[in-house]
Amino acid sequence: MTETTTGATGALLSATALRKTYGATAALDGADFQIRAGEIVAVMGPSGSGKSTLLHCLAGIVPPDEGQVHYQGRELSGLSDAERSALRRGAFGFVFQFGQLVPELSCVENVALPLRLTGVDRKTAEGRAAEWLERLEVADVARKRPGQVSGGQGQRVAIARALVATPRVIFADEPTGALDSLNGERVMELLTAAARDTGAAVVLVTHETRVAAYSDRDVVVRDGKARDVAGMAGVA
């Protein structure tokens, strides 16, 4: 982790006054958010509070109706689809409740996918993917397809895939939602440890305080607004 360009506030990724409605329902209603490089922030809130929408807006997957999202000083809504896709390939990583792995590819191929999309040759990409699988203790499932592995193993493969391109930010949406508590804890240990090792920031959406305990800071989303529970300590 060498590049540390941040915005004026020192945040790697920031959002201001985000508003997003689905039909008549306001999912976000003036939400603000900031995260620094290497920081792990848990976004909490009850079901339907808008926490996943906030994550999607922050990752540039869903455009907000109003407000702005800045990554390293660049406004995401001003980027083209190809530029936002490039961000997802190189700077962002994703771990969702269900791994979103490609069932046709083996686990190692799934992990290598972001690298291969950036033009890395197969051998190198799969070599690096194998290292990550090893690190996340699922090297034994490398040649298996996602349908042939357990939920916990699948999530570790997804984390490996999220980390393989050494992203600056990892977006994790309920990463342990489909796992039992033992597996969930192990997955969180591995995710946070790997993120800290690589200096990646983690936006962790969860409704479980047990999971949120792995974060540096908690943000609660309620009625479309994000409130910093522990304050923005350390953010200039």
Partner 1 sequence: MSAGTRVPLGQWARELLLGARFAVSGGRAGWTRTLLTSFGVGLGVAVLLLAASVPTALTAGDIRKDNRDWASSEEVEKAEHTVLLSWVYTEFRDETVSGRELQAEGDPDKAVLPPGVDKLPAPGEALVSPALRDLLDTEDGRKYLQPRFDGLTITGTVGDQGLSGPSELLFYSGSDELEADSGHVWRVSGFGHSEPSNPLSVALVALVVVMLVVLLLPIAAFIATAVRFGGERRDQRLAALRLVGADNAMTRRVAAGESLVGAVFGLALGSWLFLLGRSQARSIDLYGIGLFPSDIAPGFLFTLLIVVLVPACAVGVTQLALRKVVISPLGVAREGVDRGRRLWWRLATLLLGVVLLFVLGPRFSGGGADIWLLAGSVMLTLVGVTSLLPWVVERVVDRLQGGSLSWQLATRRLQLNSGLAARAVSGVTLAVAGAVALQMLYSSVQREDERDTGMDTGQADVTVYSGVEGGSDGERLAGQIRELDGVRSAHGYLTGEAVHEKTRVNEYDVRESVTFTVADCPTLRYLLKIDSCADGSTYFALDPNLPKDERPKVPAAGDRYDLRADPEKARPENPDWWTVRGKVEQARVGQDASGSQAPYGLYTTPDALAPERLGGEAAAHVQVRMVADGAGRADGVERIRNLAPITDPSFSVQELRSKAQSDEFTVLSNALMAGSVLVMLLIGGSMVVSTLEQLRERRRQLSVLVAFGTKRSTLGASVLWQTAIPVGLGLTLATAGGLGLGLLLLRMIGGGVADWWAFLPMVGMGLAMIALVTLASLPALWRMMRPDGLRTE
**What is each CA distance from 187 to 134, 182, 183, in whole angstroms?**
14, 9, 6
HEC per residue, 187-227: HHHHHHHHHHHHCCEEEEECCCHHHHCCCCEEEEEECCEEE
Residue from 2, 24, 80, 236 that binds partner 1 (CB under 8 A)? Answer: 80
**In the complex, what is the shortest distance from the CB of residue 145 to partner 1, in angstroms, rounded to a whole number?**
6
Asked if 118 interacts with partner 1 (CB under 8 A), we say yes
**In the complex, what is the shortest distance from the CB of residue 37 to partner 1, in angstroms, rounded to a whole number?**
20
Residue from 19, 145, 186, 207 that binds partner 1 (CB under 8 A)? Answer: 145
Residue from 15, 76, 113, 136 that binds partner 1 (CB under 8 A)? Answer: 113
Question: Exposed, middle or buried, 147 (CB in 10 Å: 0-12/13-18/19+)?
Answer: exposed
Alpha helix ranges (H) inside 64-106: 81-90
Given the rule CB under 8 A, which of 7-15, 65-73, 99-107, 134-142 is the region that contacts partner 1?
A: 99-107
Asked if 186 interacts with partner 1 (CB under 8 A), we say no
Sign of CA dihedral 17, 43, 45, 98: positive
From first CA to last CA, the distance across the chain in angstroms is 20
Asked if 23 interacts with partner 1 (CB under 8 A), we say no
Enter the tokens of residue 43. Answer: 């976004």
In the window 217-236, what residues touch partner 1 (CB under 8 A)?
none
Site string for partner 1, 27-66 (x = CB under 8 A): -----------------------------x--x-xx----
The residue among 81 and 236 lying less far from partner 1, judged by its C-beta, is 81
Residue numbers at the binding site for partner 1 (CB under 8 A):
56, 59, 61-62, 80-90, 92, 94, 96, 98, 100-105, 113-114, 116-119, 145, 147, 161
